[in-house]
Structure 1
Amino acid sequence: MEGLIRQAYRRYDFAVSVAAVGLAAAASIWLTRFGGPLATVWIANGLAIAALMRRGGEGMLRFLAITTAMVWLLGVLGGFSALNALNLTLVNALEIGWVVRMLSGSEGVTYLEQPLGVQRFIVWAVVVAPVVTSALAAPVHALETGASVWLTLGMRSCSHALGNAIAVPLALGIARWRHIAPLSQQRARRSLLALLLLALATVGAFVQPEVPGLFVVFPPLVLLAMVGNRRWGVGGVLMVALLGGWLTVIGQGPIAEPGTPPALATMQFQLFVLCCIAVALPLVTSMEQRRRLGRTLRGSEARYRMLAEYSHDLVLLLDAQGYCKYVSPAAYPILGYRPDKLVESSLQSLIDEASLATAVELWRRLINGDHPGTTLLRMRHADGSYRVMEAAGGVIDEEPDRVILTLRDVTARIGAEEALREERRLTDITLKAIGDAVFTLDREGRLGFANPAGAELLARSTQPFADKLEDRLPLWRASERVREDHPVRTALNTGAPAGPLLCVLEPEGEPSRAMECSAVPIRNELGGVIGAVFVLHDVSAILALSERMSHLAHFDALTDLPNRPLLLERLSAALGRARQGAHHLAVVFIDVDRFKQINDTLGHVAGDAVLKQVAERLLSAMGAGDTVARLGGDEFVVLIPAVNDRDAVAACALQALEALSAPMRVGRRELRLTASIGIAMFPDDGDEPDLLIRHADMAMYAAKRAGRNDYHFYISSMDAGAQAEFDLENALRAALARSELFLDFQPRVDTSDGRMLGAEALLRWRRTDGTVCRPDAFIPIAEASGLILVIGAWVLKEACQACRDWQDGPLRDVGVSVNISQLQFGRENFLQLVMEALREAGLPPHLLELELTESMLMEPTDAVRQRIAGLKSLGVNLSIDDFGTGYSSLAYLRRFAIDTLKIDRSFIADMADDPEDASVIHAIIALAISLGKRVVAEGVETQRQADLLAALGCHEMQGHLYSPPVDAARLAEFARRRGAARTRRLG
C-alpha cells in the first residue's frame, strides 16, 4: 500500500504540491478570524518553497502562477479586498521565487542536512526575504486596512519567517523520513528525557511573568538537539510552540500580560519560536553531519583495515627510517614470518642484496612524495628462499613521515613469463626448422608471419603483390581455383579448424607441387576469431610413393597387368553392365603348360621373361576393351565384357592359343609354349565374380586333364572336384581330434650381426600315413569351413607356450610370431583370446608378435581400431605379412601402430636379377624407415640376396639361407650355433 501511495505521489506530485499550498493558505486565512499568537503564522510560502526545492525549481513559473491565482481567490473569499489580496499574493510569489533562486542547487531535499545550507536558509528564507517582501507589501496593506505600516511590516515579517522556518524543514523532513536513520535505544531514551525536560522548561517559562525567563527552554532544547536527530529537534520546537501558544492563549506567561497589544504579543511569541528554531535547526544539522562523518570515517577505517587484513598482498606501514609499524597477515603465507615478529623490524633486513639498490631508490622517491609506479624486489623468505615482489606505495598526506608499501608476490608470474619466453624461443626455433610452410593471418586474411619455409614459397609466388595470402599463393584442385572452401576462409568465417585439404600449388617457374593445407583459427581472450594459422605441407613425394604403391596394389609387379583385386573390381562392374544390358560376359582362365619346368631348368629369370612375353602376346591377341590380368605364377585371366555367343569366345581362345604357340626366344634359347584355357560365361555359369573365376579355373583344369593346349567351357559336372575339398575338410576335422597338427619354427636373424631375434611359428599336419601336409594345402579349406578359428586359437596358445618354454635355454629373449587369419582377427573375442593365451603360458606380451595381412586393415572400422589399440595396450607387437602383394597403402600405416613390415618372398626371389623387384624392395624399406618401422625379408635363399638386402637397410631376414622351419629343439641348436659364431666374430 505504501508503495502504491509513493508511486501515485511521484506521478501527481505537482498537483499534490499545489493542493497542499492551497490548503495551508486557506487554513491560515481562516485562523486569522480567531486571533492568538499562532493565528497569523503563514506556512503556505514554506510549503511552496519546499515543493519547488524538491523539484529542483522545475516548472516554477507555472507553479507560482497557479498558486498565486489560487491564494488571491482565497484571500478575496476570506474578506480581503481584491487589491489587497493581489498585493499580498504577488509579494508572496516574489518571496517564494526569490528564496528558491537563492537556495537553488543540486541537493534538493537534502539541502537542510548541511550546515551551510541551514545558514543560507535562515538568512534568505527566515530573515531577508520575509523582511523585504513585507516592506513591499506593507504600504498597500496599510492603505487598504488602515493599520500601521510598521505594525504590518513587523507582523508579516514574523509570521512569514516563522511559517518558512517551520514548513520548509518539516516538509523536507517528511520527504526524507525513510532516509533518516533511527536512533539507538540509548539515544532514544536520552532524547525522550531531554524532551520531558524541554516540556517542563516550557511550562516553567510560560507561567512566570518575566520575558527573559522564556529563554530557560534553550538548554533542554540544545540538549535535545545534541542527543536526538532532526525528527526530535523539529518535534521539540513544535512542542515549545504549541505548548507556549496554548499557555499564552489561556493567559499565562509574560507575553499574555494585561495591557500588551495583541499584535505585539503575537510578534513576541513568533520571535521567541524563531529563536528556538534558529538555535535548534543549525545545531541538529551540525550534530547530524558530525555523526555522519564519524560513521563514514569509522566505516572507511574498517573497510581499509579489512582490505589490508584479508588482502593477498602484503601491506606495510613504515616510518621515515624504514621500520615496520604495521604488517598485514599476508606476511606469513608470502614470506613465512608472523606479522607481529616483523613489527619494528627494518625493511632492509628483508631485501636481497641484489635488490638493495633498487629498494633504496624506491624508498628515496617515496619519501620525496613521488609516485614511481611498481618496482620488482627480491625478498628473503623464512625458509631461506627468495620471492619476487612487485612493490608500490606512497606517503600518507596527513602523516608525511608514514609510508604505505604494498608488496605483491609475483614469483609465479615471473616464472611463467620466463617459461613463456623460453617457449616462444623454442617455438621460433621449431618454426624455423620445420619443413612445412607456416603462416599467421589477420581477420581479413592478410599475412602477418611466415616461417622460413613459408617465406621461400612467398619468394616464388606468381602474385607477389597481392593483398591476401590466398591470392599470393593460389591453390588449385581439379583445375579450379580453391576459393569458397579455402581452409583460411572456413577457419575465419566459422571459427572451426579446416582441412586438411589436398590441393596443388604452382610456384613461379617450377612444376606443380601437391600440398596438404589446413587452417586453425586464432582467438582472443573473449573467444572471438582474430586471425588464423595456415599450414602448407608438401606431399608431392609421399603422393608419388603412394601412387607407386597403389599401382603395385592393383597391378602385377612383373607384367604390369591388373592383379586379382583390380580384375575383381572390373569384373564386378562388367557384371553390372551385363545385367543391365542383358548380354553375355566371358571369363577366360589361361594357365601356361609345364611352366614349372621352365623355372626348374632355366631358372626364375628365364621364367619371368617368359611370363612377360606371355602377357604381351595376350594383350596383342585380345580386343581393346578386354582386360588381361595375372593372378599369380603362370595363371592369367582375360575378361571379355561383352560377347554374343560361345563361338565368339571360342575364337578368342583359339587366337590366344595361336599367339602363345609361336616360337618365343628367351636369351639364346627358343621356346615353344602351350596353354590350357578354361571359360565361364555369364549368366549361364554364374553371376558373381569369384564364382565365374572359380568355374573358369575348373574348366582350365579340365583342359589340362584332357591333354593341355586346348580350351574347355565350364560344365556343371566339374563341381565333382569340390568333393575332394570336402574330403580334405573332414580329414582336417579328424586331425584336430587326433592332435595331428604341430608347429615348426623358422628363425629370424639380425642383418647387422646375425643374431637370432625371433622365430615364426609355421603350422604343419602329419597325416595318419606319416606324410606331412603343408599349410597351403589345407589352410584354404580351414578358412572356407571356419575351422581356422579353432586351429588359430590352438596355434596361438601352442606358440606362446613353446616360446615360454624356450626362455630358459639359449633362446632367452627370443620372441615368436604367429600368423593370424582374417576370419580369426574379425572375431569379437580375439583380444580376449590373445590375453588368455599369454596368461596361460605366462609369456611376457612383448615376446609375442602377431602377423596380420593388409586386407585386415583396409577397412578401418571402430572394431578394428579397438582391437589394434587393445593389442598395443597389452604390449603385443604387430607386423604386416607379405607386404607389397596386397592392398598396400600409406593410410593404414599412419593410422595404426604397426611395428614391422615383412616383404613377401615373391619380391626377394628375383631381386638380384630384376631391377624392378629391387626398386620395390628399396621403396618399401625406405617407407618403413621413414615411418619408424622394422623390415623383415622373407624367403632369403642366397647370400647375394642377403647382401643386397643388408645394403638396402633391411633389419631382419628369414629363409632357407639360414634355416628351414624346424622344431623347438633344433631351433635352440640353431641359436647356440649363431651365438657361438657371433662370439667368434666379435673375438
Structure 2
Amino acid sequence: MTRVLIVDDDAFILEGIKRIAGQNFEVDIANSGQEGLHMLTADGPYAVVVSDVSMRGMSGIEFLEMARSVAPMTTRVIMSGYADQEILSASINRAAVFRFLNKPFSRKEFFDCLNESVTEYTRTVSSQLGMSKNELDQKWILTELDKADFDRDFTVRYQPRVLSGSGVLHGLEALIRWNHPEHGPISPMEFIPVAEQGSSIRELTQWVLRKACQTWTDWQYQHSMDVAMSVNISPVLFSDPGLVGMVRNTISRSGIDPNKLELEITEGLDLHDYDLVQDKIAGLKSLGLHLSIDDFGTGFASMSYLQSLDVDCIKIDRSFVTHAPDKAKDYSILKSVKDLGQQLGLKTVAEGIENDRQAQTICELGIDEMQGYLFAKPLLAEDIVPWIEGRTALIPNVTTELPQSLLLKCA
C-alpha cells in the first residue's frame, strides 16, 4: 500500500485526515516538522508528504524545504486555510511543492490530490532511476542489494514489546532499515520481497541476527537488561540446509541466552513439504530458543500453523487491532485468538497499538503483550536505554488493576 506522511500540530486534524486517508493509503502522522523530518529519514520512503503551513516551531514551508533535501523523490503537498500569494510563492520556490490544498477541502479534493501526488512520485522515481516502477522494485533493488555495504547502508532498529497492564518492557523486535547512499531510505516492504528472490535474504537475515544478538549481549553486560529479543526469519530460509547451523553459530559467538531469543515466522511458510519444515522447526527449538507466528490471521493457513508447528507465541496482526475498540467483529476475533492462545498455552502479542483506546481494549481482553507506536517507534540501539530511563505512564489513561504510572524498567 502506498505510504503517506501527514504533518500537522493539530491532533484533531491529524486523526481526522488519518481516518479518511487510511481507507486507501498507509498513513503515518507527525505532530511537528522536527518529528516529520525524523520519520522521513528513519521510516521512509514515503510517496507523499502533506504538511500544514502554520505550525509551532518549524513552519510548513521550512519543513517541506528541508524535506526536499532529505527525501527528494517524495512528493510534497502543503495545506493552508488561506491562499496567500506569498505563501504560494514560497511553497513553490523554496519547497518545490507539487500541490496546494486550501482548507477546508472535501474528501474528493483530498483523494484527488493524493492520487495525483502518487502519480507524480511514480513519475519522479522512474525519471530519476531511468526505469519503470516495476523495474525499481525488482532489477534495480536486486542489483543494489548485491553491492550494498551492510554495515554502512543498513541499520537495525528495535521496537519495544510491553506487558499489557503494567507497561513493563518485556522484549524488543529487531527491524532492518536500508538507507541507500544515493536514493535515501528504501522500505523493507520493497526490498525484502526482492531479496527473497535471490541469495540476499540469507545474508540480510544473518546480518540482522548477528547484530541483534550482539546488541542483546552488550545490553546485558552493560545494563543488566535481561529482555527478550525477536528477529524475523524469512519463510524462504526454511529450504536452506544451513539455517539451523547459522542460528546456532550466531548464538554461540554472541553469547546471547537462547531462551531470550525468539524467531518470528510468517504465514508465507510452505507447509506442503511438511517433513522438511518440521525438521527445521525441531532443529531450531533444540537450540533453546522460542518461535512465534507473525501477522497471525492475515493468511488462510493460520489454524494449520497452530496445528502443525511447535510455536510459543502468536503475534496478532494490526488489522484486527485497529478497529477493535469500535467494531464488535474485530473485538470478537481478538477475543477468540486470545482464548485460543490461552487454551494452547501460547503467549499472545497485539501489534500496531497506536492509541489509548486500543491499549485499553487489549488490556481488557487479557492479551499478554502490546507493541506499537503508542509506546515507541523502532529505535536505534543507543536510544533504547535513554528511552527506558525516560518513560513513565507508558499506557496513559488505561485502567488496570496495576498502577497507571510506572517507570518502564526491564522485566
TM superposition score normalised by structure 1: 0.28
Change (3 A) 1:754 1:837: same
What's the CA shift for 1:814?
Answer: 0.7
* 3-state secondary structure, aligned to 1:909: coil
Instruction: Measure the CA separation in 2 of the matches of 1:873 and 1:738.
Output: 30
Instruction: Measure the CA separation in 1 of the matches of 2:248 and 2:218.
Output: 18
Change (3 A) 1:933 1:768: same
Instruction: Measure the CA separation in 2 of the matches of 1:865 and 1:754.
Output: 35
Residues 213-262 of structure 1: per-residue CA shift (max 9 Å, x gap): xxxxxxxxxxxxxxxxxxxxxxxxxxxxxxxxxxxxxxxxxxxxxxxxxx
Residues 325-378 of structure 1: per-residue CA shift (max 9 Å, x gap): xxxxxxxxxxxxxxxxxxxxxxxxxxxxxxxxxxxxxxxxxxxxxxxxxxxxxx
Within the candidate set 862, 867, 881, 2:294 is matched to: 881
1:819 pairs with 2:243: no
Within the candidate set 724, 728, 741, 2:136 is matched to: 724
Q: Tell me which residue corresponds to 1:943.
A: 356
Q: Tell me which residue corresponds to 1:758.
A: 171
Instruction: Measure the CA separation in 2 of the matches of 1:771 and 1:753.
Output: 38
Question: Once superposed, what is the RMSD of the aligned Cα atoms?
Answer: 3.8
Q: Tell me which residue corresponds to 2:160.
A: 747
Pairing 1:156-171 to 2, within 5 Å after superposition: none
Within the candidate set 779, 787, 809, 2:192 is matched to: 779
* 3-state secondary structure, aligned to 1:874: coil
Q: Tell me which residue corresponds to 2:81.
A: none
CA contact (8 A) 2:318 2:352 kept: yes
CA contact (8 A) 2:294 2:315 kept: yes
What's the CA shift for 1:909?
Answer: 2.1
1:969 pairs with 2:382: yes
What amino acid maps onto 1:786 in structure 2?
S
Within the candidate set 939, 959, 977, 2:372 is matched to: 959
Change (3 A) 1:923 1:984: closer
Q: Tell me which residue corresponds to 2:406.
A: 982
1:793 pairs with 2:206: yes
Change (3 A) 1:723 1:888: closer
What amino acid maps onto 1:798 in structure 2?
K
Sequence identity (%): 33
Change (3 A) 1:917 1:810: farther
Change (3 A) 1:609 1:863: closer
Instruction: Measure the CA separation in 2 of the matches of 1:808 and 1:901.
Output: 30
Higher helix share: 1
Pairing 1:686-725 to 2, within 5 Å after superposition: 705=119, 720-725=132-137
Change (3 A) 1:911 1:898: same
What amino acid maps onto 2:406 in structure 1?
R
Pairing 1:274-423 to 2, within 5 Å after superposition: none
* 3-state secondary structure, aligned to 1:854: coil
What amino acid maps onto 2:387 in structure 1?
F
What's the CA shift for 1:749?
Answer: 0.8
Pairing 1:144-293 to 2, within 5 Å after superposition: none
Change (3 A) 1:745 1:984: closer
Q: Tell me which residue corresponds to 1:67.
A: none
Pairing 1:37-116 to 2, within 5 Å after superposition: none
* 3-state secondary structure, aligned to 1:784: coil
**Tell me, which stretches of 5 or more residues in structure 1 are unaligned?**
1-590, 612-668, 677-700, 707-717
* 3-state secondary structure, aligned to 1:772: strand
Change (3 A) 1:944 1:731: same
What's the CA shift for 1:961?
Answer: 0.9
Residues 867-924 of structure 1: per-residue CA shift (max 9 Å, x gap): 1111222111000111111124323313322111111122222222333222222221
Q: Tell me which residue corresponds to 1:926.
A: 339
How many residues align? The count is 302
Residues 822-864 of structure 1: per-residue CA shift (max 9 Å, x gap): 1123211111111011011011211110000123153351111
Within the candidate set 836, 839, 851, 2:264 is matched to: 851
Instruction: Measure the CA separation in 2 of the matches of 1:960 and 1:785.
Output: 32
CA contact (8 A) 2:296 2:302 kept: no
What amino acid maps onto 1:724 in structure 2?
L
Change (3 A) 1:895 1:724: closer
Residues 77-124 of structure 1: per-residue CA shift (max 9 Å, x gap): xxxxxxxxxxxxxxxxxxxxxxxxxxxxxxxxxxxxxxxxxxxxxxxx
Change (3 A) 1:984 1:783: closer
Change (3 A) 1:895 1:823: closer
1:836 pairs with 2:260: no
Larger Rg: 1
* 3-state secondary structure, aligned to 2:406: helix
Change (3 A) 1:776 1:600: farther
* 3-state secondary structure, aligned to 1:785: coil
Change (3 A) 1:772 1:722: closer
1:900 pairs with 2:313: yes
Residues 790-820 of structure 1: per-residue CA shift (max 9 Å, x gap): 1111111111111111112445211210011
What's the CA shift for 1:723?
Answer: 3.6
1:807 pairs with 2:220: yes
Change (3 A) 1:984 1:877: closer
Change (3 A) 1:856 1:673: farther
Instruction: Measure the CA separation in 2 of the matches of 1:811 and 1:957.
Output: 23
Q: Tell me which residue corresponds to 2:327.
A: 914
CA contact (8 A) 1:802 1:968 kept: yes
* 3-state secondary structure, aligned to 1:739: helix
Change (3 A) 1:780 1:983: closer
**Tell me, which stretches of 5 or more residues in structure 2 are unaligned?**
8-12, 26-104, 121-129, 394-404
Residues 198-224 of structure 1: per-residue CA shift (max 9 Å, x gap): xxxxxxxxxxxxxxxxxxxxxxxxxxx
CA contact (8 A) 1:850 1:878 kept: yes
What's the CA shift for 1:600?
Answer: 6.4
Instruction: Measure the CA separation in 2 of the matches of 1:771 and 1:605.
Output: 28
What's the CA shift for 1:608?
Answer: 7.3
Residues 742-798 of structure 1: per-residue CA shift (max 9 Å, x gap): 111111111132111110001012232594333223222222333111111111111
Change (3 A) 1:705 1:836: same
Instruction: Measure the CA separation in 1 of the matches of 2:178 and 2:200.
Output: 14
CA contact (8 A) 1:853 1:881 kept: yes
Instruction: Measure the CA separation in 2 of the matches of 1:674 and 1:977.
Output: 38
CA contact (8 A) 1:809 1:972 kept: no
CA contact (8 A) 1:756 1:978 kept: no
* 3-state secondary structure, aligned to 1:762: strand
CA contact (8 A) 2:169 2:408 kept: no
* 3-state secondary structure, aligned to 1:982: coil
What amino acid maps onto 2:267 in structure 1?
E
* 3-state secondary structure, aligned to 1:855: coil
Instruction: Measure the CA separation in 1 of the matches of 2:286 and 2:390.
Output: 35
Higher relative contact order (CA 8 A, sep 6+): 2
Instruction: Measure the CA separation in 2 of the matches of 1:983 and 1:768.
Output: 39
CA contact (8 A) 2:163 2:368 kept: yes
